[in-house]
Amino acid sequence: MAFYFVQFLTGLASAASLFLVASGLSIIFGVTRIVNFAHGAFYMLGAYVAFTLTERFSGALGFWAGIVLASLVVAVVGVLVEMVLLRRIYHAPELFQLLATFGLTLMVQDLVVMIWGPNDLLGRRAPGFKGAVEFFGQNIPTYDLFLIALSPIVLGLLWLLFQRTRWGVLVRAATQDRDMVAALGVNQKWLFTSVFALGVFLAALGGALQIPRDAVHHALDLRIIVDVFVVVVIGGLGSIVGAFVAAVLVSELNAFGILIFPKISIILVFLVMAVVLIVRPWGLFGKPEAAARRTPGLTVNPWRPLTSGERLAAWAGLAVAAMLPLVGGNYALTVGSEIAIFVIFAASLHFLMSVGGLASFGHAAYFGLGAYGIAFLAKMAGLPMIVCLLLGPLLGCLGAAIFGFFAVQLSGVYFAMLTLAFAQIVWSVAFQWVAVTGGDNGILGLWPEKWAAGPASFYWLSIGVAALAVAALRIIVFSPFGYALRATRDSLLRSEAIGIDAKRIQWTAFVIAGTVAGVAGALFAYLKGSVFPDSLGISLSVDALVMVLLGGVETVSGAVIGAIVYKMLSIWLVSQTDLSKLVLGGVIVLMVVAFPKGIVGMLETIRNRRRPELPKPAVLKSGIESAE
Amino acid sequence: MKLSVHDLNSHYGPAHILFDVALEVGEGEVVALLGRNGAGKSTTFRSIVGLVAQRSGRIVFEGKDVSDQPTHTIVSLGLGYVPEERRIFTDLTVDENLEVGRQPVRPNAPHWTREKLFALFPNLAEMRNRPGGRMSGGEQQMLTIARTLMGNPSLVLLDEPSEGLSPKIVEQMVAAILTMKQAGVSIVLSEQNLHFARLICDRAYIIERGRICYSGTMAELDARPDIRDTHLAL
């Protein structure tokens, strides 16, 4: 019994950091409507800066001053980020905000390694809380007790701040109606900046307070952000009380999940999240959101099928690509196959995003599931390759059917967070369930059969499948189903009013996209001869998002161009620099701020500009009108 | 002049809404902006306070050119705005709603305190701690006006204050606006209801399809039933 009680207390202590970070995320979202992906990065920075400062300052006072000062320093960094980057994208579609803040996260990962090195750092123990209290033969660290006491105190302080100060009243008013607050003479800019500073301070404090418990390392950011997303989805985005309750719930589920399913403890959290989403899609303490902003809408160029000339050009492009084996060596063919595979993957996500308006941040899950599908069928069942290729993607299809069912209940940022959390759950299962998936060692020895084994034959197979997949997706875009899907994207309410079952249409689109991603994953498994949990990872999901964005979200064929350019760039970049994440992150941020239309979108704009144009209205004040 | 607007043109995306709108409001004057639904009354107000991004023209408030200023700067100069759709902060209590509107005292404008406002709108005094979302339409309308007055404005743009209110509440509204007028606040009032405007206003502009098509005193307008029938009758 005592053991369970101690386990319970450990869970409560872990909840402290989770609550601090999640409440910061919620506060920022409430006012700015930005889901700050970089929140995990601020948490990690808090831990690193606190490590340095507590090493530098001596004594008990020095330790605590270091913790607080570190949080303040990171808050100042947050203010700079808000003023330089976020102010430019407050009116941009959610997808761009998520991507830009993710780009920041990537940059911070490399910067942290540059400054503090790649090794784990062990921080000082907290002065005054070094010992442990004995409880029926079990030891409870006193620092854990300190953390347990801290979260309700922070919760109380935040409550006072929001209920009892003018600043708090203004923030709550802005959460509801930003424009009206401005129309009452309040400068929103500084309100936003101060809110962001508070949120980042809380995240950094959460990180700084972890150093006596945990080693500081450069993967802390993604680990915490996934937990935090789960917490805010359960608790309700924008609710501080919700963040508190959900942080405790998730931490306790983790603490006891280890005891029940030691291998796949994350399943328990997933089950609870699924139940919450069915009963209250907006979270335990959240409020139903008004319809979210729609992702597209920047251009007014209507989509149309290819003209006969363009169709000819597409065939010619394919024919040229098919001639690569005549000139290229084995390396070129392997790279070519990989690019073709990523064209399929990007096209599947593009279909979901541009046609369905559903920006998935966890699309790699279905790519990876397709790859694991091949591994199971080929290694365990020993089926021939052609059968594997046909059946393997069905695992991606199945995964998309299950997760998609929950995901389409939500929209906008909730959809993005949920798909990310699902992907991370699949990744954790692949990583932890060593008996089935081989864990980190993956599954090896998946080589194609003789007819596809040569680099040239495999390349032809890949571009053939890619051409089929892209053509099939295009046909769907211009089919009645495609029109219905676009209707749900443009207005959920109006499409339902004309008799479209929006949720079912979106679910179908999710399953189609997941299955096509599974096809890409299946080919990828054969290309690499192996499957690793990385194929399900966040970075692969984001790669796909960047490909789509690079090509142009609002175009029909942007994903193809985006995948080709991005893949070639990243292969070249990795060979040129060790700081590929820093460069990639910078490129993402720059793209979102400067070229939100992508390559194909820009080409289209240039082509349209040649046509005679209507006289432009004289614009006195620039800027896009708020979409709400 | 308290407020003068010249050559105001506004667009929502590709749609041109306002065409060369011009208005003038004198010190302490109460002016009506009359027009049918969709004529451009609300857009005129929203453009003056900078809530329409695509606008051009010259807007001078108390001798200062505010055409390029952001909304919060214009409002904090003393130009209050009461939106048609009320936009009460429903999660905030009456007191908190008033707090959001609070601005420093201005030398050239009447100073409103909570007590004065509760005297003006007695209903609000009884529900200081009630969330804005749990008030009737009439009470919300009073709260929006009170909230804007907390900013001690010297001029108020009142967008259709009588819309959707019961006759009894409209009477209270007339009384409140007349009190504001006596206190020295200049007012521009947009209305579809000519009778309501006649009770309060000195002068009137008529706007139709985004263009000002008539301006004159209330008495002059009353003498021109033809104008009334062409531009205002339903």
Secondary structure of A221-275 in the HEC alphabet? HHHHHHHHHHHHHHHCCCCHHHHHHHHHHHHHHHHHHHHHCCCCCHHHHHHHHHH
Q: Helices in A261-329 by DSSP H: which ranges?
A: 266-279, 308-322, 324-327
Q: Which strand (E) or helix (H) includes residue A281?
A: none
Q: Say if A288 falls within a structural domain.
A: no
The residue of chain B nearest to residue A181, with distances taken between CA atoms, is B100
Q: Which of A487, A514, A537 is the last residue of a domain?
A: A537
Q: Does A257 share its domain with A354?
A: no
Q: Which of B13, B53, B89 sits opposite A176 (nearest CB)?
A: B89
pLDDT at residue A428, as a whole number: 84
Residue from B54, B91, B149 whose CB has the most chain A CBs within 10 Å, to mutate: B54
Mutate to test the interface with B, among A165, A613, A620, A621 (most CBs of B within 10 A): A620
For A595-613, what is each residue's pLDDT tens digit?
Answer: 777 777 777 777 776 654 4
Q: Which residues of B touch A299 (CB under 8 A)?
A: none
CATH number at residue B24: 3.40.50.300
Same domain, A103 and A174: yes
Give helix then strand counts, H and E, for chain A: 29, 4
What is the C-alpha separation between B189 and B158, in angstroms, rounded?
5
Considering only CB atoms, A617 lies closest to which of B16, B51, B96, namely: B16
Q: Tell me the three-class secondary structure of A602-623, residue by residue.
A: HHHHHHHHHCCCCCCCCCCCCC
pLDDT, average across residues B224-228: 85
What's the pLDDT tens digit per position in A86-96?
A: 998 888 877 78
- DSSP helix/strand/coil, B64: strand
List the single residue in A with minimal CA-CA distance to B55: A620
pLDDT given for residue A617 in this prediction = 39
Query: Exposure of A369 by Cβ count < 10 A (0-12 exposed, 13-18 middle, 19+ buried)?
Result: buried
The pLDDT confidence band at residue B125, using thresholds 50, 70 and 90, is very high
Chain B residues lying within 8 Å of A180, measured CB to CB: 83, 87, 89
Query: Quick check: A172 and B92 CB within 8 A?
Result: yes
Rounded to whole angstroms, how far apart are CA atoms A188 and A239?
21
Map A139-167 to HEC letters: EEEHHHHHHHHHHHHHHHHHHHHHHHCHH
Q: Is the pLDDT of residue A74 over 80?
A: yes
C-alpha distances in Å from residue B131, one per residue of A185, B113, B176: 22, 20, 23
The kind and range of the H/E element at B15 are strand B15-25
- Cα end-to-end distance, chain A, whole Å: 54
- Comparing CA positions, the residue from A513, A516, A589, A520 lying closest to residue A549 is A589
Predicted pLDDT of residue A31 = 84
User: By the 8 A CB rule, do A269 and A252 touch?
Assistant: no
Q: Establish if A549 belongs to a structural domain.
A: no
In sign, the C-alpha dihedral spanning A150, A156, A159, A164 is negative
My answer on whether A164 and A262 are in the same domain is yes
Residue A59: which domain range?
2-279
The answer to whether A239 touches A278, Cβ cutoff 8 Å, is no
CA dihedral A73, A29, A423, A563 (to 10 degrees): -90
Amino acid at B210: G
A161 confidence band (pLDDT: 50, 70, 90)? very high
- Minimum CA–CA partner of B76 in chain A: A185
Residues whose CB falls within 8 Å of the CB of residue A525, separated by 6 or more in sequence, listed in order: A370, A371, A372, A374, A375, A392, A446, A531, A535
Report residue B163's pLDDT band, with 50, 70 and 90 as the boundaries.
Answer: confident
- Both A207 and A336 in a single domain? no
DSSP state of A536: G
Which sign does the torsion angle of CA A481, A482, A484, A489 carry? Answer: positive
Based on C-alpha coordinates, what's the Rg of chain B?
17
Q: Which positions ≥6 away from A285 have C-beta within 8 Å?
A: A235, A236, A239, A241, A242, A245
Count helices and strands (H / E) in chain B: 10, 10
Whether A323 and A246 map to the same domain: the answer is: no
Residue of B nearest to A176 (CA): B89
φ, ψ (nearest 5 deg) of residue A416: -60, -45
- Alpha-carbon B12 to chain mean position: 21
Domain boundary among A229, A259, A279: A279
User: To the nearest whole percent, how much of chain A has pLDDT over 70?
Assistant: 94
- pLDDT score, position A550: 83
- Among A518, A519, A505, A599, smallest CA distance to A559 is for A599
Tell me the residue range of the domain where B179 lies: 3-231
Would you say residue A182 lies in a domain? yes
Q: Give contacts of B13 with chain A, Cβ < 8 Å.
A: 625
The angle subtended at Cα A463 by Cα A457 and Cα A464, nearest 5°, is 85
pLDDT at A301: 56
φ/ψ (deg, to 5) at B191: -150, 150
Burial of A56 from C-beta contacts in 10 A (0-12 / 13-18 / 19+)? exposed
pLDDT value at A382 more than 50: yes
* Mean confidence (pLDDT) of chain B: 92
Q: What is the model's pLDDT at position B207?
A: 94
Indicate which CATH number applies to the domain containing A225. Answer: 1.10.3470
A290: pLDDT confidence band, cut at 50, 70 and 90?
low
Indicate whether A500 belongs to any domain.
yes
Closest among A421, A393, A399 to A233, alpha carbons compared: A421
Same domain, A19 and A166: yes
Q: Do A257 and A320 have their domain in common? A: no
* Alpha-carbon span A224 to A239, nearest angstrom: 19
Which of the two residues, A416 and A104, has the higher pLDDT score? Answer: A104
Decide if A192 is inside a domain. yes
A169 contacts chain B (CB < 8 A): yes
**d(CA B214, nearest CA chain A) in Å:** 26
Query: How many other CB atoms are there within 10 angstroms of residue B100's CB atom?
Result: 23
The answer to whether the CB atoms of B71 and A169 lie below 8 A apart is: no
Measured between CB atoms, which of A170, A175, A183 is closest to B81? A183
Are A253 and A329 within one domain? Answer: no
Express each pLDDT in A462-521 by its tens digit. Answer: 999 999 999 999 999 999 999 999 888 888 888 888 999 989 999 999 999 999 999 999
- Asked if the Cβ–Cβ distance from B9 to A617 is below 8 Å, we say yes
Distances (CA, A) of A581 to A104, A541, A578, A589, B7: 10, 15, 8, 12, 52
Indicate if A267 and A334 belong to the same structural domain. no
Residue type, B100: V
Crossing angle of helices A2-32/A240-260, nearest 10°?
140
Ramachandran class of A227: left when φ > 0, alpha when ψ lies in -120 to 50, beta otherwise: alpha
Alpha-carbon gap, residue B107 to B114, rounded angstroms = 18
Q: Which residue has the higher pLDDT, A350 or A608?
A: A350
- Can you name the residues that pair with A480 across neighbouring β-strands? none
Q: Return the higher-pLDDT residue of B234 and B193.
A: B193
pLDDT band at B234 (very low <50, low <70, confident <90, very high): low
Q: Is A180 on the interface with B (CB under 8 A)?
A: yes
More confident residue, A176 or A304: A176
CA–CA separation, B88 and B136 (whole Å): 11
Q: What is the pLDDT of residue B176?
A: 92
Is B83's CB within 8 Å of A180's CB?
Answer: yes
Please report whether residue A467 resides in a domain.
yes
CB count, 10 Å around CB of A579?
Answer: 16
Asked if B62 has any chain A CB less than 8 Å from its own CB, the reply is no
* Cβ neighbours of B43 in A, within 8 Å: none
In DSSP terms, A134 is beta-bridged to: A139
Contact in structure between B112 and B106 (CB atoms under 8 Å): no
Collect all residues of chain B within an 8 Å Cβ-Cβ radius of residue A623.
Answer: 53
Cβ neighbors of A88 (< 8 A, separation 6 or more) are A593
Note whether residue A559 is domain-resident. Answer: no
Q: How many Å lie between the alpha carbon of A162 and the closest alpha carbon of chain B?
A: 11
Q: Confirm whether A481 is domain-assigned.
A: yes
pLDDT at A615 over 60: no
pLDDT score recorded for residue B70: 93
DSSP secondary structure letter of residue A376: I
pLDDT at A276 over 70: yes
Q: Is the pLDDT of residue A587 over 80?
A: yes
- Using a CB-CB cut-off of 8 Å, the residues of chain A touching B83 are 180, 183
Inform me whether the pLDDT recorded for A425 exceeds 50.
yes
* CA distance, residue B226 to nearest chain A CA (Å): 35
Structural domain total, chain A: 2
Mean pLDDT of chain A: 86
Please state which of the ranges A282-291, A557-566, B71-80 shows the lowest mean pLDDT: A282-291
**Of A537, A564, A599, the domain-final residue:** A537
Whether the predicted pLDDT of A616 surpasses 50: no
Mean pLDDT of A378-387: 85
Q: What is the pLDDT of residue A614?
A: 43
Indicate whether A445 and A520 sit together in one domain.
yes
Contact A185 B89 (CB under 8 A): no
Residue A569 has pLDDT above 90, yes or no: no
Q: How many domains does chain B have?
A: 1
**CA-based nearest residue in chain A for residue B19:** A617
Residue A290 at interface with chain B, using a CB cutoff of 8 Å: no
| A382 contact partners, CB below 8 Å, separation of at least 6 | none
Rank A308-312, A423-427, B39-43 by mean pLDDT and report only the highest: B39-43
B161: CB partners within 8 A, 6+ apart: B82, B141, B145, B173, B177, B189
pLDDT, tens digit, 9 for 90 and up, residues A260-274: 777 667 777 877 887
Report ipTM (2 d.p.): 0.92
Q: What is the pLDDT of residue A625?
A: 34
Q: Does B99 touch chain A (CB under 8 A)?
A: yes
| Residue B54 to residue A621, Cβ atoms within 8 A | yes
% pLDDT > 70, chain B: 100
What's the confidence (pLDDT) of residue A178? Answer: 87
**pLDDT for res B115:** 93
Ramachandran assignment for A445, one of left (phi > 0), alpha (psi -120 to 50 degrees), beta (any other)? left
For the record, the structure tokens of B171 come out as 């009477």
Number of CB atoms found within 10 A of residue A308's CB: 7
Between the CA of residue A396 and those of A341, A384, B165, B189, what are the distances in Å? 15, 19, 57, 61
